[in-house]
Amino acid sequence: MTDSPAVEVLICGAGAAGLTLAIELARRGISLRLIEKMPTPFPGSRGKGIQPRTQEIFEDQGVLDQLLATGGLYPPLRQYASDGSYTQTAVIEAEPPTPAEPYHHALLVPQFLTEQVLRARLLALGQRPAFGCELTGFVQDAQGVTATLTTAQGEETIRARYLIGADGGRSYVRHTLEIGFPGKTLGVRALVADVHLTGLKADAWHQFNQGSPAHQLAICPLAGTDLFQIQAPVPLEGDVDLSPEGLTALVAARSGRDDIAVQSVSWASAYSMSARLADRYRVDRVLLIGDAAHVHPPTGGQGLNTSVQDAYNLGWKLAAVLNGAPDSLLDSYEEERRPIAATMLGLASRLLDAAKRGDMHRGREVRQLDLGYRESSLALGTQRSEGLLAGDRAPDAPLRGAAGQPTRLFELLRGTHWTLLGYETERKLVSPRPGLHIHMIGARGDLIDEQNLLRDACAAAVGDWILIRPDGYVAAIVNGNELGALESFLQRQGLSA
């Protein structure tokens, strides 16, 4: 057994959650090791829907344009009747984007391409996953975690200050910690297969037999590839033939068409759906993110998105604690994210029931733009009857720099810092400090809110201050008489002048 150099964070699992966390830590200069037991990247399309809130996160991480260039938008949903006629609708009921919500459409990016883009971003930050490296044991003490890693070369031990279980629904880390994972299997088994086929155009998400749960069939072109993703419920028990011939026969039986032929299968799986939520997300120096903490049915496309957002919530907190912020900041991760996962489980299960009836409508709730943390201990609650409250997602807003250049609030938020906006007030009232960007809005400020959209969103009055967290949620909106509370709050987050 060999010893590896110590790191601050060991991340177990290089799926979407582990990669997002690694980016968050790497861009803050935290030393890390990201390990993945599979010898090569996961090849399947699984979580192909990137929701608007996740797009905002990916914009902040500098990968959104690349993702759009790699994948695309959802094609229309084409539902066929038994006589071959069809109706066509939008997959997601989306209104046009607004200045506050620049992304309203889900992106369609096969998960293996999303992970490829995230790996490229991580590499630009100087890190890469170690493939073929499995976590096979760990113990923790007051200072850190000692982990055993198994590779083709043998075993090694590594010491880390924190271990993050981003190791998926069957999480080894969760099992080792003996954290309960209550929930239920949903009595639905489905196949998902990425295939090359002939007989269908890639201009629609083709759906057959939507009113008949046992015989549904959905065939979606995978943007950025020449593959289609086949999804179909299958019997709860028994073998499923995932060969090209087997899938061609299934497609023919369910579509009534003999002109669609599966030529090859690049990845396929038959899986039973369940909805489960971990009892705890943290045991001292070990935390769970992503599917390790919650598993969802795929309806509504929430699983990957919730996993990415777990990592985005945890990343800045972990970095802050490693840089001296109080350990209690880490407890706010479970406090904020576990209720969100519980809500998502309910939503995905309701959509699954609707899908069984053949009338699933993905409304505003799947976009995840209204999720927030008002009840969190990190929301500096003050009495406000109008506008945004602490814990809400900060909206985007068009602004103009004092020098005349157009900008957006999201451009000012991009990066690893906290942001404090003073509205028509004096900069000198709050001391500058590392990790905090201060902007003054108003006639004598460095920013002009020409359309008053930010003012209206916050119901900001002269003298108000708006504090926004590194992950884009409002931490506080206070007036000039509440600056003492703001100062104490900043210090509690490790932001001292």
Ligand X SMILES: Cc1cc2nc3c(=O)[nH]c(=O)nc-3n(C[C@H](O)[C@H](O)[C@H](O)COP(=O)(O)OP(=O)(O)OC[C@H]3O[C@@H](n4cnc5c(N)ncnc54)[C@H](O)[C@@H]3O)c2cc1C
Using CB under 6 A as the criterion, which residues of the chain lie in contact with ligand X when the complex forms? 12-18, 35-38, 42, 46-49, 111, 134-135, 166-168, 172, 192, 271, 290-291, 298, 301-305, 307
Q: Closer to ligand X by CB, 107 or 394: give it.
A: 107
Least Å distance, CB 42 to ligand X, is 5
**121 or 439: whose CB is closer to ligand X?**
121
In 3D space, the residue among 210, 347, 335 whose CA is nearest the CA of residue 275 turns out to be: 347
Q: Kindly state the smallest distance separating residue 289's Cβ from ligand X, in Å.
A: 7
The distance of closest approach from Cβ of residue 142 to ligand X in the complex, given in angstroms and rounded to an integer, is 24
Smaller CB separation from ligand X, 172 or 228: 172
In the complex, minimum distance from the CB of residue 200 to ligand X, in angstroms, rounded to a whole number? 19
In whole angstroms, the minimum distance from the beta carbon of 99 to ligand X comes to: 26
CB closer to ligand X, 267 vs 489: 267
Give me the least distance between CB of 226 and ligand X, in Å please. Answer: 20
Nearer to ligand X, 227 or 454 (CB): 227
> Which CB, 23 or 486, lies closer to ligand X?
23
Beta carbon of residue 446, minimum distance to ligand X (angstroms, whole number): 38
Smallest distance from ligand X to CB 307, Å: 4
**Distance from C-alpha of 389 to C-alpha of 11, rounded to nearest angstrom:** 33
